[in-house]
Amino acid sequence: VVALTAHATREHKERCFEVGMSDYLTKPLRLNEIRAVVEKWVAS
């Protein structure tokens, strides 16, 4: 599960991982970031 949020604070990111997110993206989305996350998790 990849978190997609407008919150970019370190605390919010840490909380996402604490509740079980596998990765984390912030808005506004950038194509290169989406691609990197998808490639990372498809490869594993």
Residue-wise pLDDT tens digits, 4-43: 999 889 999 999 999 999 999 999 999 999 999 999 999 8
Pairing state between β 23-26 and 2-5: parallel
List Cα–Cα distances, 4 to 23, 24, in angstroms.
9, 6
CA gyration radius for the chain?
Answer: 10
- pLDDT value of residue 44: 74
pTM of the model: 0.76
List % helix, strand, coil for the chain (3-state, nearest 5): 50, 20, 30
- pLDDT value of residue 12: 94
